[in-house]
Amino acid sequence: SQKIEQNSEALNIQEGKTATLTCNYTNYSPAYLQWYRQDPGRGPVFLLLIRENEKEKRKERLKVTFDTTLKQSLFHITASQPADSATYLCALLLMDSNYQLIWGAGTKLIIKP
């Protein structure tokens, strides 16, 4: 069956360290992958998009990698801060999906001061 997996357990990281979140998928051929941040009680906010022919994308302290062979995307936050604490969601747009995004369940990130 087709599915997207993100770590269901919260990830606890010490402030200043690099946080790495994982998004794995099976049986999909994504055109691109997006990462969003969601704070409690609010809608997700777009962070980064990476296309299937791109290996890496950066934005300030954020970095996303996309390995279509491993069927995995990694999301890195360097020099993490307590304000980075949130739930991070990945979403795939499939090549034949009629523009529908497929969402992971999200990983809760906690940055400890």
Partner 1 sequence: KAGVTQTPRYLIKTRGQQVTLSCSPISGHRSVSWYQQTPGQGLQFLFEYFSETQRNKGNFPGRFSGRQFSNSRSEMNVSTLELGDSALYLCASSLGTGTDTQYFGPGTRLTVL
Binding stretches for partner 1 (CB under 8 A): 31-32, 34, 41-46, 49, 89, 93, 97-101, 103-106
Q: How far is the CB of 44 from partner 1 (least distance, A)?
A: 5
In the complex with partner 1, which residue's Cβ is closer, 45 or 79? 45
Q: How far is the CB of 57 from partner 1 (least distance, A)?
A: 13
- Nearest residue to 77 via CA among 32, 86, 39, 102: 86
In the complex with partner 1, which residue's Cβ is closer, 34 or 80? 34
In the complex with partner 1, which residue's Cβ is closer, 20 or 32? 32
Beta-carbon contacts of 22 under 8 Å, excluding residues fewer than 6 positions away, are 6, 7, 72, 73, 74, 75, 107
Q: How far is the CB of 13 from partner 1 (least distance, A)?
A: 21
- Nearest residue to 77 via CA among 13, 10, 18: 18
With contact defined as beta carbons under 8 Å apart, do 51 and 32 qualify?
A: yes
Q: How far is the CB of 50 from partner 1 (least distance, A)?
A: 12
